[in-house]
Structure 1
Amino acid sequence: MQQILQRASSTARTSRTLIIQQVQRLLSTQLEFTKDRYNIDRGKFGTLDDTHYGYFEDLLGKDRVIRDPEECEAYNVDWVKNVKGMSKCILKPKTTHEVSAILKFCNTHNLAVCPQGGNTGLVGGSVPVFDEIVLSTTLMNQIISVDDISGAVVCQSGCILETLDSHLAKYDLMVPLDLGAKASCNIGGNVSTNAGGLRLLRYGNLHGSVLGLEAVKADGDVVDCLSTLRKDNTGYHLKHMFIGSEGTLGVVTKVALQCPTRPKATNVAFLGTNSFQNVLKTFRKSKHSLSEVLSSFELIDAQSLNVVTKHFGKQCPISQHPFYILIETHGSNATHDEEKLHSFLAETMSDGVVLDGTVSSDPSKIADIWQLRETITAALQHDGYVFKYDFSIPIKTFYSIVEIMRERLGESAVTVCGYGHIGDSNLHLNITLKEYSEEVHGKIEPFVYQYTSQMRGSVSAEHGIGFRKSKYLQYSKSASAIGLMKSLKQMMDPKGILNPYKVLP
């Protein structure tokens, strides 16, 4: 059964990857350079010359120094086509030693570097703004060790999340992180952005699962914090400086993760209800009735589902409603879990909280239901230009910003929708236009960040800050906290060569 589930999941993710590639091809209009759209001045960094290229080619070989403009293009644009850089050099190291040599050389010659993994980020953190050297970790993809007793896995930072998860399945383990971009994102990028994902409700934040890591500082020094112990209370927890720092303090090269046992039974319920208040009632009931097996509780509003059914031809498995709920359970006893889920559904429907629903343990049906949630981002691209926001908002006011923005923007927006992780109060607000409009942009920002701050929320729940949110960091962090961050940056990277123009205002 588990192997069937894995195959169904892999097929679904392959389909999702093809959808994303299709969307990218459809977005054929010329994207404006980030520096021009946002009027950014280039930092006082060096410019590449033949001496620099010669060093890199001697170190890596010509095949791992990419200079062809057409090939460089893929590394200069984020996958949602919102930001675009001008890098003329992509470096592809395979070892920590090579990363160390590259950074030491770049630091000496004052050359700016943009670390990049799978380039699946949504805030412009993984692509250059100007002509920074792109340091791609995609060839650093070795799984070093797996301890099937403790559940600790050690791997290089360029391992693709899905590939790592498939390897762990041989040991009856799983990565404690699941993302829509699982087929292409890298574990180092996940750690560097402190990615959240779909099952945080069950397995917690990623930073809690990172046992240790290895990172390279701007001057080439290697910081070895690659512990595989769950308890290692010896001095400062240095690994946390690199988790979530988005490559601005160092380049993560190896990661040690604590991985849970793979569930023997997986069930999914897809439910419909007529109000957000009923979504909250269902969530409260699920925590009581499904507590020990509940792994995901996802909200999808009607507008989000509509873009998937419209652009990708997907079918909703239940009747139409203003709000949909996707619940997943992970357990060890299939019969027990199914009984609990069916009982839960019967109770919520008899109370009139849930109006319709379907439950499945069939791997192919589970994959189909999850695709309704995981392809929303790709489907929205078909509308045109997408403004994407990732907030943590107190759960009682979780959905209010979506309704406010619909009224605020009116007919100037094609779609205003909200979906996300109710279990950890993480809302994804998406606003689509036929094409980018500076006027509409001005109506959206900084209003959405100001509102989130007033609600005592966070301007970034799981996507990070990157380039696009750096000037809004003040809405979630105090002046003293930002000052301390700047001091750390100055200490770790005095010349500012690592991922410049990102995170810090």
Structure 2
Amino acid sequence: MAYRSRLAPIARRVSTPGLLRAALASNSGPAVLRCVSNTPMRRFQDSAPRRGNFTTDSYPEIKRDPRFSQITAEHVAYFRDLLGKDSALVDGVTANVSSDDMEPYNGDWMRKYRGHCKLVLKPASTGEVSKILKYCNDNMLAVVPQGGNTGLVGGSVPVFDEIVISTSRMNQIRSFDEVSGVLVVDAGVVLEIADQFLAEKGYLFPLDLGAKGSCHIGGNVATNAGGLRLLRYGSLHGNVLGLQAVLPNGTIVDDLCTLRKNNTGYDLKQLFIGGEGTIGMITAVSIQCPQRGKAVNVAFLGADSFEKIQLAFREAKSQLSEILSAFELMDSYSQDMVHRVRQNKRPLDSEHPFYCLIETTGSNSEHDAEKLEKFLEDVMSKDIIANGVLAQDETQIKSLWSQREGITECVGHFGGTYKYDVSIPLKDLYRLVDDTRERIEAAGLKGDTEEFPVVEVVGYGHMGDCNLHLNVAVRRYDKRVEEVLEPFVYEWIGKINGSISAEHGIGIAKKKYLGFSRNDTMIDLMKQVKKLYDPNGIMNPYKYI
């Protein structure tokens, strides 16, 4: 049959369904761990140490709030006495600190946002955070909570001279219940460290990101990060059972519940999930973690149109159902960028306009192999999928995933990226990429030489969540590009009732465009919440709302 002849040379080991089943069954050993050795932030800092422009230069309309005090030597002395050691703060107010020491806290990894912070505090406990925030509130000192600083919308870096409160020393795994799967951690625990800890117990963290090697769990919760596992395990709004946070006046919100059911009054923790540190600072989290599947399979498939990718997704949901753990979309432009930067061998021996990466996770290798075999045979016999490859071992699984997770790094390789993380009804998902590319080209901004600021326009994302990542790779940030992109992208999304932020948050980048996704009533209610919890406005000012 035609579909077998096409699949066989691609998989390089499959000539009959029986062989396919045997090959898949060989994946019945211990759980495959997909490790990311570095995050985009680290790679960019190593390969391109250039600094971006100050946010105050890029957004001259933002003015420093005159209510906020200037940091003095007296303030620094209080914090030094409170924290007890010089290593717990970076003092650029009373000491000569090199700009290199302060830069990791002032700038984001995309080199797009950069603040003027002169003081970084590193508390080790919720109690210390409480005393810091009370003092800052009493003395009108603005603050920015900061985790791994892997954000994409400027939400985790200062704008002016706000004090950065880093969670880097709050890094303890407090407890784990091996029966219920409930994990309790400090906000500064690195996501990958938590996932590795859980792997030893046979569990996994319900969130997975390309930046897992640097991002902090507190920051993930504060931005309601989505990532690669949301299709299977849902959002943090559902997985976070409780949290501990500190309000601007120093009040400790101790709601570190470890129960899946707690129907007693308002679920106030939800205000902090996705609140981006604007009403308080998260210091600890309890989260429900699922068991780690023992049988993991990854397929990388090529299709000749976006319509066929949609059909493949529909069939995957129907035929793979409970074992489907990821369905990632990539266009040819994104894969061309990965190949261009890495000079690696492409997964497929033919090129296609669209690709998808499918991951299944389950507990029964034979059962999963049979379902996956039938799915692959079906989509290829129906001419939905044109080509594909199936990973045979852990090394190949990591290699195929790198084709998806490496996009962020490779797109930013040339100088910078304009990134749009949006939710769009599935049928219109890729149309935004086509329309944006057409608009950029019509403006004469895209080309192969240095005179053109734009290198390429690419689209990829989480198909299962209707979450598109529209990326415009540039050689340099350029106002002409920004004027073509904004507010066009947000207006486009508003017209089809999409969301201007699917998982990256609002920060400073999307603050003035919030009205394209939220009506006036909703925005007014948000402002009331902000005013109630942070009447002095010291928490992460100039952002969000």
TM-score category of the 2 structures, normalised to the smaller one: over 0.9
Aligned residue number for residue 5 of structure 1: 32
* Residue pair 1:273, 1:354 contacting (<8 A) in 2 also: yes
Q: What secondary structure does 1:5 align onto?
A: coil
Residue from 287, 305, 311 that aligns with 1:275: 305
Aligned residue number for residue 92 of structure 1: 122
Aligned residue number for residue 517 of structure 2: 476
Bigger Rg over Cα: 2
* Residue pair 1:56, 1:102 contacting (<8 A) in 2 also: yes
Per the TM alignment, residue 384 of structure 1 is displaced from its structure 2 partner at its CA by: 2.0
1:52 aligns with 2:75: yes
1:221 aligns with 2:251: yes
Provide the C-alpha distance between the structure 2 equivalents of 1:30 and 1:332, rounded to a whole number of angstroms: 47
Aligned residue number for residue 86 of structure 2: 62
1:123-138 mapped onto 2 (5 Å cutoff):
123-138=153-168
1:356-375 mapped onto 2 (5 Å cutoff):
356-375=387-406
1:200 aligns with 2:230: yes
Larger deviation, residues 167-176 vs 82-91: 167-176
Aligned residue number for residue 329 of structure 2: 299
Provide the C-alpha distance between the structure 1 equivalents of 2:129 and 2:473, rounded to a whole number of angstroms: 39
Residue from 17, 34, 44 that aligns with 2:55: 34
Per the TM alignment, residue 382 of structure 1 is displaced from its structure 2 partner at its CA by: 1.4
Question: Structure 1 length normalisation: TM-score?
Answer: 0.97
Residue from 408, 430, 436 that aligns with 1:399: 430
Q: Per-residue CA shift, 1:460-500, capped at 9, x if unaligned?
A: 00000011110011110110111011111111001100000
* Residue pair 1:386, 1:432 contacting (<8 A) in 2 also: yes
Residue from 319, 337, 354 that aligns with 2:368: 337
* Residue pair 1:342, 1:359 contacting (<8 A) in 2 also: no
Distance of aligned partners of 1:198 and 1:22 in 2 relative to their CA distance in 1, 3 Å threshold: closer
Query: How many residue pairs align between the two structures?
Result: 498
Root-mean-square deviation (CA, aligned residues, Å) is 1.2
* Residue pair 2:31, 2:296 contacting (<8 A) in 1 also: no
Provide the C-alpha distance between the structure 2 equivalents of 1:434 and 1:192, rounded to a whole number of angstroms: 31
Aligned residue number for residue 467 of structure 2: 426
Larger deviation, residues 158-167 vs 338-347: 338-347
Per the TM alignment, residue 83 of structure 1 is displaced from its structure 2 partner at its CA by: 0.4
Q: What secondary structure does 2:540 align onto?
A: coil
The runs of 5 or more residues in structure 2 that have no matched partner are 1-27, 92-96, 446-453
Per the TM alignment, residue 169 of structure 1 is displaced from its structure 2 partner at its CA by: 1.6
Per the TM alignment, residue 286 of structure 1 is displaced from its structure 2 partner at its CA by: 0.5
Q: What secondary structure does 2:32 align onto?
A: helix
Q: Per-residue CA shift, 1:92-123, capped at 9, x if unaligned?
A: 01100000000000001100000000100000
1:145 aligns with 2:145: no
Aligned residue number for residue 466 of structure 1: 507
Provide the C-alpha distance between the structure 2 equivalents of 1:285 and 1:74, rounded to a whole number of angstroms: 45
1:24 aligns with 2:45: yes
Per the TM alignment, residue 386 of structure 1 is displaced from its structure 2 partner at its CA by: 1.0
Q: What secondary structure does 1:416 align onto?
A: strand
Q: What secondary structure does 2:383 align onto?
A: coil
Q: What secondary structure does 1:100 align onto?
A: helix
Per the TM alignment, residue 28 of structure 1 is displaced from its structure 2 partner at its CA by: 4.2
Provide the C-alpha distance between the structure 1 equivalents of 2:303 and 2:90, rounded to a whole number of angstroms: 52
* Residue pair 2:44, 2:109 contacting (<8 A) in 1 also: no
Provide the C-alpha distance between the structure 1 equivalents of 2:191 and 2:332, rounded to a whole number of angstroms: 30
Q: Which amino acid aligns with 2:32?
A: L
Per the TM alignment, residue 361 of structure 1 is displaced from its structure 2 partner at its CA by: 4.5
Per the TM alignment, residue 414 of structure 1 is displaced from its structure 2 partner at its CA by: 1.3
Provide the C-alpha distance between the structure 1 equivalents of 2:325 and 2:86, rounded to a whole number of angstroms: 46
Provide the C-alpha distance between the structure 1 equivalents of 2:483 and 2:47, rounded to a whole number of angstroms: 27
Residue from 110, 118, 142 that aligns with 1:112: 142
Per the TM alignment, residue 30 of structure 1 is displaced from its structure 2 partner at its CA by: 4.1
Q: Which amino acid aligns with 1:503?
A: Y
* Residue pair 2:54, 2:113 contacting (<8 A) in 1 also: yes
Q: Per-residue CA shift, 1:140-190, capped at 9, x if unaligned?
A: 010111011111111101110110011112221111111111111111001
Q: Per-residue CA shift, 1:16-60, capped at 9, x if unaligned?
A: 43x653432443444210011111211121111110000010011
1:143-292 mapped onto 2 (5 Å cutoff):
143-292=173-322
Q: Which amino acid aligns with 1:396?
A: K
User: Structure 1 runs of 4+ off > 6 angstroms?
Assistant: none
Q: Which amino acid aligns with 1:434?
A: R
Q: What secondary structure does 2:322 align onto?
A: coil
Provide the C-alpha distance between the structure 1 equivalents of 2:208 and 2:29, rounded to a whole number of angstroms: 17
Residue from 363, 369, 379 that aligns with 2:410: 379
The runs of 5 or more residues in structure 1 that have no matched partner are none
Provide the C-alpha distance between the structure 1 equivalents of 2:474 and 2:148, rounded to a whole number of angstroms: 27
Aligned residue number for residue 109 of structure 2: 79
Per the TM alignment, residue 4 of structure 1 is displaced from its structure 2 partner at its CA by: 7.2
* Residue pair 2:41, 2:150 contacting (<8 A) in 1 also: no
Distance of aligned partners of 1:4 and 1:203 in 2 relative to their CA distance in 1, 3 Å threshold: closer
Distance of aligned partners of 1:433 and 1:287 in 2 relative to their CA distance in 1, 3 Å threshold: same
